[in-house]
Amino acid sequence: MKLNLTELIPLQNELDERIMDLHHEVRETTQLKRILALVVEISELANETRSFKYWSLKGPSEKDVLLEEFSDSIHFILSLGIDLKLNELIVECDDISYDLSRLFLEWTDDAIQLMHDFNLDNFQKCANYCAKIAYTLQFNENEVLDTYYKKNKKNHNRQDTAY
């Protein structure tokens, strides 16, 4: 599975700059908060998949809900990539069976590693989980990109309304 997220970088940069300006923040002082936001979004997606809820018979949320939660994670992945001056982001993984619970824990662990050592290698390792999650949840690239566009627009609208 391969996802080319490059075309989303300018959109994320525009949203980031707008938010930073409106809230009188700068990238450097929000990096730790954005790493935490990524961890929270990973957890929210995990919760919607219900993959770890062995005690429950209720299935996962609808695909559109999962895609939107996934898109929230991508927003923060892109935002952190911008800190590293990325102008391209392609994430990929082998097309093999992945255990969702393990993926969410490993993704969270790699996101937390960014707090300790924020560099391109650690970022790419963390970002590649987007491909593993997309593959496992059977999202295709068009669905991922379309959902990002919709959520990005929603996030701009939220800034308009003092969200």
- What pLDDT score was predicted for residue 137? 98
Rounded-to-integer distance, Cα 92 and Cα 4, Å? 9
Per-domain residue ranges of the chain: 2-160
Rounded-to-integer distance, Cα 8 and Cα 77, Å? 11
CATH of 2-160, picked from 3.40.1190.20, 3.10.20.30, 1.10.4010.10, 3.40.50.920, is 1.10.4010.10
C-alpha angle 60-65-66 in degrees, rounded to nearest 5: 60
Residue 90, CA distances (Å) to 47, 48, 50, 52, 138 in order = 26, 25, 27, 28, 18
Those residues with Cβ within 8 angstroms of residue 143's Cβ, 6 or more apart along the chain or in another chain: 67
Residue 161, CA distances (Å) to 20, 22, 55, 76, 156 in order = 16, 12, 40, 21, 9
- What pLDDT score was predicted for residue 53? 97
- What pLDDT score was predicted for residue 113? 98
Residue 121, CA distances (Å) to 8, 80, 114, 144 in order = 20, 13, 10, 23
- What pLDDT score was predicted for residue 20? 97
Q: What is the mean pLDDT of each run of 10 residues along the chain (163 residues)?
A: 98 98 97 98 98 97 98 98 98 95 98 98 98 98 98 96 85
Residues 82, 16 contacting (CB under 8 angstroms): yes
pTM summary value = 0.97
